[in-house]
Amino acid sequence: MAASLRCFLRSGKNTVSALQRRDFHRSAPAAVQMTVRDALNQAMDEELERDERVFLLGEEVAQYDGAYKVSRGLWKKYGDKRIIDTPISEINVLLQAGLRPICEFMTFNFSMQAIDQIINSAAKTYYMSAGLQSVPIVFRGPNGASAGVAAQHSQCFAAWYGHCPGLKVVSPWNSEDAKGLLKSAIRDENPVVVLENELLYGVPFEMSEEAQSKDFTIPIGKAKIERQGNSITLVAHSRYVGHCLDAAAVLAKEGIECEVINLRTIRPMDVETIETSVMKTNHLVTVEGGWPQFGIGAEICARIMEGPAFNYLDSPVTRVTGVDIPMPYAKILEDHSLPQVKDIIFSVKKTLNI
């Protein structure tokens, strides 16, 4: 019972709805376990069905079922006109007026080949045309480190894309995030970059009944408080939300209650949620997998400083980040190149001066 309750809390539900769920007189809403991969697949399936202008293109997305199997079954269902295999050429970004492409990058490292198109053609066009030409395109794929894929395949692009006006950038953590944010991205009239994470693809999370609906979307630009607390605020995106929750569980045993915020959207960033939290806890630690210089944590620090929450800080903000080096291959080196749960715990205690 305790375990399932923890499970509910971890998935973001508050205790009240968890208890409501056990009322057998009404038809009990059934939560299911779903992997992030399946959630993304479901999101695309639903949006392909809903709007015939939506289509998916990328390397190996059709007949191969997707390099990471995220698009499994879609080519069989929708055929050649909606699911298109492109040759290995990232610059094949189609900006066909009137259509709504979802462009899959095998990893965002390869998007550097097409980055000119993403920024100069997609992000800036609506502005340059003074509102005449909108670009409803989605760029999605795995971002950041995987396991043992070395320097050219492990980079986090959240800061790179988050830098550009005209782009929306989202970074889902769990399955609900993945489905809700991807659906919102597909329905959005603007270019949206969806930074997924390969290590999370196979991880199952709870999907509430609400999330199982065909109309379930998560608004872009709104962060979510995954865990409430009073001692300190932890802000993270993607995989590191999980790390923060793990660190919070350990710290709770020592009486330190962390408030964990899942950013969900990198741009436009929900600074208000962070500020409200910091004004309550007076301490802030940011956690990300990317490099420190000019990163997500750096931006959060700057924004906190510029806003009302600055006066509520009892100590400087601490950034927990990837080590400032290209990603090494050897396992022991790779493990020490990225934030571990113990680094977060250490940083929390240092920030609280414990």
Partner 1 sequence: MSARTYADFTTQATFEIKKCDVFKLDEGPATQVVLTRDEGLQYYRTMQTMRRMELKADQLYKQKIIRGFCHLYDGQEACAVGIEASINLSDHLITAYRAHGYTYTRGGTVKEIMAELTGRRGGIAKGKGGSMHMYCKHFYGGNGIVGAQGQIFETYNMAALWKLPVIFICENNRYGMGTSVERAAASTDYFKRGEFIPGLRVDGMDVLCVREATRFAADHCRSGKGPILMELQTYRYHGHSMSDPGVSYRTREEIQEVRSKSDPISMLKDRMLSNNMASVEELKEIDVEVRKEIEDAAQFATTDPEPPLEELCNHIFCDMPSLEVRGTNPWAKLKSVS
List interacting residues with partner 1 (CB under 8 A): 59-60, 63-64, 67, 85, 87-91, 106, 109-110, 113, 146-153, 292, 318-326, 328-333, 336-340, 343, 346-347, 350
CA neighbor of 145 nearest in space, from 199, 67, 70: 199
Cα 346 versus chain centre, distance: 24
Cβ of residue 87: shortest distance to partner 1, in angstroms?
A: 4
CB 250 within 8 A of CB 345: yes
Cβ of residue 80: shortest distance to partner 1, in angstroms?
A: 11
In the bound state with partner 1, the residue whose beta carbon lies nearer, of 61 and 185, is 61
In the bound state with partner 1, the residue whose beta carbon lies nearer, of 172 and 289, is 289
CA neighbor of 118 nearest in space, from 58, 61, 154, 167: 167
CB 225 within 8 A of CB 259: yes
In the bound state with partner 1, the residue whose beta carbon lies nearer, of 191 and 339, is 339
Cβ of residue 236: shortest distance to partner 1, in angstroms?
A: 13
By three-state DSSP, how is residue 115 classified? helix
Task: Give the pairing type, strands 204-207 and 265-267.
Answer: unpaired
Of the chain, the end-to-end C-alpha distance in Å amounts to: 33
Q: What is the phi/psi pair of residue 229, to 5°?
A: -170, 165
**243 carries an active-site annotation:** no
Provide CB contacts within 8 A for 19, sequence distance 6+: none
In the bound state with partner 1, the residue whose beta carbon lies nearer, of 30 and 325, is 325
In the bound state with partner 1, the residue whose beta carbon lies nearer, of 12 and 295, is 295
**153 carries an active-site annotation:** yes
| CA 202/CA 199 separation, integer angstroms | 7
In the bound state with partner 1, the residue whose beta carbon lies nearer, of 59 and 226, is 59
Cβ of residue 219: shortest distance to partner 1, in angstroms?
A: 32
Q: What is the CA radius of gyration of the chain?
A: 20
Q: How many residues does the chain have?
A: 354
Cβ of residue 305: shortest distance to partner 1, in angstroms?
A: 16
CB 226 within 8 A of CB 205: no
Q: Is the peptide bond before 268 cis (omega within 30 degrees of 0)?
A: yes
Beta-strand ranges (E) seen in 178-335 are 192-196, 204-207, 224-227, 232-236, 258-262, 265-267, 284-287, 318-320
Cβ of residue 322: shortest distance to partner 1, in angstroms?
A: 7
Cβ of residue 135: shortest distance to partner 1, in angstroms?
A: 21
CA neighbor of 263 nearest in space, from 288, 280, 294: 288
Cα 42 versus chain centre, distance: 17
In the bound state with partner 1, the residue whose beta carbon lies nearer, of 92 and 190, is 92
Point out the catalytic residue in the list 153, 163, 257, 272: 153
Task: Supply the residues annotated as catalytic.
Answer: 90, 153
